[in-house]
Amino acid sequence: MKLLVTGGAGFIGSAVVRLAVARGHQVVNLDALTYAACLDNVASVADDPNYAFVEADIRDRAALDAVFAEHAPDAVMHLAAESHVDRSIDGPGDFIETNITGTYNMLEAARAWWIKAGKPDTFRFHHISTDEVYGSLGATGQFTEDTPYDPRSPYSASKASSDHLVRAWAETYGLPVVLTNCSNNYGPYHFPEKLVPVIILNALAGKPLPIYGDGSNVRDWLYVEDHADALLLVVSEGALGRSYNIGGENERSNLELVRTLCALLDELRPKAEGSYADQITFVADRPGHDARYAIDPTRIREELGWRPSVTVEEGLKKTVQWYLENEPWWRALQDRHGVGQRLGVKA
């Protein structure tokens, strides 16, 4: 397939690009190169004849029309977004513009191209979204594809809005769409302002390991390369108009997750004295912090035969090893953006 991947210089998008090229797909990576992007994430495929990069902003409709006309994709995998909940609390404007208006532009550009191409049945607009659209769970239960939407942060509200637009374009205009809503990802090339890399890098630097509130918030952790594998399956075999929840089948509280990371670091890069867990510090909770997310993966497992390939312990070990072996990657980002301490909203 010829895939137009938006946000392919980001964390998940770059995993999709690397895997798609490895599987022989042609890939056009469209990315505005915001602070969250890093072209080093796709350096391994940059010279592949099946790969092209276009610097463009999904808020720029004319630029999108030009990309569709030039590259004539068989499918779109739309991942470009503002993705950090804390940043959405500090400044929601970019989230509205990119996640909502940008998705609207993508839908209109895709629809115009699809009509011009004679409405091919095989075309797909795959919208990549989050389980955060479903709101917060109590101690029990899981999100299914039928769980009512109940977003609670500017980020999740903007993603919920974009999901609604995608469904409306399918119902109203017949655009062939598929949607996925996935749980928290972690893994290689994760921008060092999110929980897992912040913990690893602060631990190595001897800094406090910040945990929100009492650390009891639960997430269902998904290894990014498993997510990329699921996305390529859905874009090629997902049923038209259908949405699929993707989870890692690995619920952990934030405190459990951080303790696991500390134990892995103790094993792989032991401190001269004591454990990395001694650096754990509890910080003021995020406003409106959702208590628990958990995915019911029955649909994607039964209909498409997909399951995650690693447990969270295996995935975290690979991740810690990757950060230990790729210091130039994260050092360069820290130097460029002064990041590594982002966890938390501004006072």
Ligand X SMILES: NC(=O)c1ccc[n+]([C@@H]2O[C@H](COP(=O)([O-])OP(=O)(O)OC[C@H]3O[C@@H](n4cnc5c(N)ncnc54)[C@H](O)[C@@H]3O)[C@@H](O)[C@H]2O)c1
- List, by residue number, the catalytic residues: 131-132, 155
- Position 113 contacts ligand X (CB under 6 A): no
Query: Which tokens is 304 given?
Result: 């498409």
- Position 258 contacts ligand X (CB under 6 A): no
Of 15 and 211, the one with the shorter C-beta distance to ligand X is 15
Of 26 and 98, the one with the shorter C-beta distance to ligand X is 98
Cβ within 8 Å of residue 78, ≥6 positions away: 6, 7, 103, 106, 125, 126, 127, 128
Give residues 66-85 in contact with ligand X (rule: CB under 6 A). 79-83
- Tell me the C-alpha distance between 115 and 174, whole Å: 10
Buried b or exposed e, range 4-18, using 16+ CB within 10 angstroms: bbbbbbbbbbbbbbb
Strand 218-220 to 251-253 pairing: antiparallel
Buried b or exposed e, range 44-68, using 16+ CB within 10 angstroms: ebeeeebbbbbebbbbebebbeebb
For the beta carbon of residue 154, count every other beta carbon within 10 angstroms. Answer: 22
Which range touches ligand X (CB under 6 A), out of 31-39, 262-270, 271-279, 300-308? 31-39
Which range touches ligand X (CB under 6 A), out of 53-61, 140-148, 229-237, 247-255? 53-61
Contact, 274 vs 210, CB < 8 A? no
- Position 19 contacts ligand X (CB under 6 A): no
Of 224 and 279, the one with the shorter C-beta distance to ligand X is 224
For the bound state, the minimum distance from the C-beta of residue 272 to ligand X, rounded and expressed in Å, comes to 34
- Position 10 contacts ligand X (CB under 6 A): yes
- Tell me the C-alpha distance between 49 and 69, whole Å: 19
- Position 102 contacts ligand X (CB under 6 A): yes
Near ligand X by CB under 6 A: residue from 26, 88, 156, 185: 185
- Position 16 contacts ligand X (CB under 6 A): no
For the bound state, the minimum distance from the C-beta of residue 220 to ligand X, rounded and expressed in Å, comes to 10
Query: Which tokens is 56 given?
Result: 């463009």
Q: List residues binding ligand X (CB under 6 A).
A: 6-7, 9-13, 31-34, 36-37, 57-59, 79-83, 98, 102, 128-130, 159, 182, 184-185, 191
